[in-house]
Amino acid sequence: MEHRATAGAHEAGRLALWRETHHDRSPTRRPAIQPRPETTRQFHPNVDERKARTLTGAYSDRSRRRHAAAVHLRILWRSICVSWGGFFCPACGHNSAPSIFDRTLEIVRTTLNALTSISETLAAAHDEDAARDSVRQILEDQFSRLVGAFESLSEALFDQLPNRPQFKVRRGTFQRLDEASDLWRQAAGSGYSDILEPSDYRDLKRLFEQRHVLGHRQGIVDDRYLRESGDTTYAVGQRLIIREPTVLRLADLVEALAADLRKLV
């Protein structure tokens, strides 16, 4: 009997210890409800200070400027990304290159109109160097958008010609101005060089070559660029400088050329 009593006491002790360590939630040991903080500025000790500032809205002036810059750029680039939509719909088989080209022109011009605001926002949130570099990158990106959209449009329109099956088109033909121009001349009677004035066609070739240098040589001029473009304003090893009027010139040229190509279809 004494042995059983001792065992029973040990068992009761172990049960009590288990309840203590596992926070027994029986009605007799229910934990007290902690009062809510009196204000939103009182946080649990594990909440870091950065999150606390976010929750209370206690941003510094610099944080507010950075947040505004991020929102501004996010909205802008979300709209710009529309121009990077697919040129072909796998569901219906429709080639959307013409509509994408028009949309790209609109987005590029909208972007250029917003450059001043973007630059000022970035300069206020960061510094002048960051703003300058960002604007430069935005301007250079427009070259790829315009050239890519025009090449896809030209190819899509060419595919609509009644005599298209008679021509074997090499891969990448529409990425080379002279070759694409000759192909259009053979198939429709007019090439790029026939549609544009000679000075305009020379400008278009120079701008297309600049896009090639930006995309494949990080903007560093080489012998090929000087030979193909006829540009005498640069020397080998210099970096291209793209300005807003240059992008607008490219947009105007491809828009005029595209308008006449559409008439040939």
Tell me, what's the pLDDT at 70? Answer: 63
Q: Which residue has the higher pLDDT, 12 or 98?
A: 98
Write out pLDDT tens, residues 158-168.
999 999 999 99
Give burial (CB, 10 Å; 0-12/13-18/19+) of 14: exposed
**Residue 43 maps to a domain:** no
**Residue 196 maps to a domain:** yes
Using pLDDT thresholds of 50, 70 and 90, give the confidence band for residue 82. Answer: very low
Tell me, what's the pLDDT at 96? Answer: 83
Beta bridge partners of 220: 239
Write out pLDDT tens, residues 36-57.
544 444 444 554 555 545 544 5
Using pLDDT thresholds of 50, 70 and 90, give the confidence band for residue 87. Answer: very low
Count of beta carbons in the 10 Å neighbourhood of residue 111: 22
Total count of domains within the chain: 1
Q: DSSP states of 189-241 as a string?
A: S--HHHHS-HHHHHHHHHHHHHHHHHHHSTTB--HHHHHHH---S--TTPBP-
**Residue 143 maps to a domain:** yes
Mean pLDDT of 14-35: 53
DSSP 3-state of 6: helix
**Residue 240 maps to a domain:** yes
DSSP 3-state of 92: coil
Indicate if the pLDDT at residue 79 is higher than 90: no
Q: What is the mean pLDDT of the chain?
A: 79
Beta bridge partners of 88: 95
Give the C-alpha separation, 251 to 143, whole Å. 9
**Residue 46 maps to a domain:** no
Count of beta carbons in the 10 Å neighbourhood of residue 182: 15
Q: Which residue has the higher pLDDT, 49 or 215?
A: 215
DSSP character for 85? S
**Residue 3 maps to a domain:** no
For residue 135, what are the contacts with CB-CB under 8 A and spacing of at least 6? 115, 118, 119, 122
Write out pLDDT tens, residues 150-198.
999 999 999 999 999 999 999 989 999 999 999 999 999 999 999 999 9
Indicate if the pLDDT at residue 148 is higher than 70: yes
Mean pLDDT of 140-145: 93
Helix (H) or strand (E) holding 80: helix 61-80
Domain range for 238 is: 60-264
Write out pLDDT tens, residues 111-121.
999 999 989 99
**Residue 37 maps to a domain:** no
Tell me, what's the pLDDT at 125? Answer: 86
Contacts 24+ apart (CB under 8 A), 242-245: 242/136, 242/139, 242/140, 242/143, 242/210, 242/214, 243/139, 244/112, 244/115, 244/139
DSSP 3-state of 88: strand
Q: Is the pTM of the predicted complex or chain greater than 0.75? A: no
**Residue 4 maps to a domain:** no
Beta bridge partners of 95: 88
